[in-house]
Amino acid sequence: MVIMATADLHGDLPKVPRCDLLLIAGDICPLMNHAPGYQRQWLNYKLRRWINRGYAKQVVAVAGNHDRVFALGEPPQDMPWTYLEGEETTVGGLRIWGGPWTPPIHDHWVFQADEEQARAHWERIPDGLDILISHGPPYGILDEDETGEHQGDKALRDEILRARPKLVVFGHIHTAQAIVQRDGITYANVSLLDNDYRRSKRHPVQLPAPTTPIAGSRRPGPSPNAAASAGAR
Ligand SMILES: [Mn+2]
């Protein structure tokens, strides 16, 4: 099974190599207008048309803190994807669970959960998953911002270590795009845009099928310039 993944599109809809499964880890909607009504129309026309190009046989997505329509409005109900908000789905025999929550940054954003609220969400991650998809990273793993500070979610880290999914896929911290392995779990930060909200040379990332962990660690593309600018989330 060929698995591709991306996150933090912020309206940028890239070409994707043919695959069986495309995972989208949130912050999908354009930067130019965060009104829920605009996002609804954009999803309904632009994103739907992109998915219907048929790059992937199946698409599984979670929202991110920018995707306000999913929390505040009425997202299109019949999109050609599986949208997860604290739910599980199965694709090709792989068990996948996803959720959008990240630590609070700014009043404008959605799906922000403090540590106690986050724990209540992440406690529901089932044991025995193949893939966990979240918008943000767990604390301490591929979560360093442009100043080197950890921005990840402590409750998510704890519940990952409890539930032990084989593969964890996320974005949100644009400076930390990479794939690493820790204690038998593969973690992938698949941010598409860099810290200036530009695509630079990044692309959707092919991930190892959860049954065959990769050796060591590698970066999926050119190293992002950590010294870039103010924090893209
Ligand atoms: Mn984000």
Q: Residues 155, 122: contact at Cβ < 8 Å?
A: yes
Q: How far is the CA of 103 from the centre of ligand 1 (A)?
A: 10
| pLDDT above 60 (res 225) | no
Letter for the amino acid at 1? M
> What is the whole-number distance in angstroms between the Cα of residue 41 and the centre of ligand 1?
20
Mean pLDDT over 155-184 rounds to 97
Whole-number Cα distances in Å, 159 to 6, 66, 126: 23, 24, 9
- Token pair recorded at residue 192: 């598409």
CA distance 97 to 90: 9
Ligand 1 centroid, distance to 228 Cα (angstroms): 17
Q: Cα of 123 to ligand 1 centre, how many Å? A: 21
What are the structural domains of the chain? 3-207 (3.60.21.10)
Are the C-beta atoms of residues 47 and 38 closer than 8 Å to each other? no
Q: Which pLDDT band, with edges at 50, 70 and 90, does 107 fall under?
A: confident
CB atoms within 10 A of CB 106: 8
**Average pLDDT value for residue range 63-78:** 96
How far away, in angstroms, is 230 Cα from ligand 1 center? Answer: 14
Burial of 107 (0-12, 13-18, 19+ CB in 10 A): exposed
Q: Rounded mean pLDDT of 60-80?
A: 96
d(CA 189, CA 141): 9
Mean residue pLDDT across the chain = 92
Q: How far is the CA of 190 from the centre of ligand 1 (A)?
A: 12
Cα 177 to ligand 1 centroid, rounded to whole Å: 13
pLDDT at 195: 87
What spacing in Å lies between the alpha carbon of 232 and ligand 1's midpoint?
Answer: 8
Kindly indicate the confidence band of residue 172, based on its pLDDT and cuts at 50, 70 and 90.
Answer: very high
Mean pLDDT of the region 28-47:
97
pLDDT value at residue 216: 54
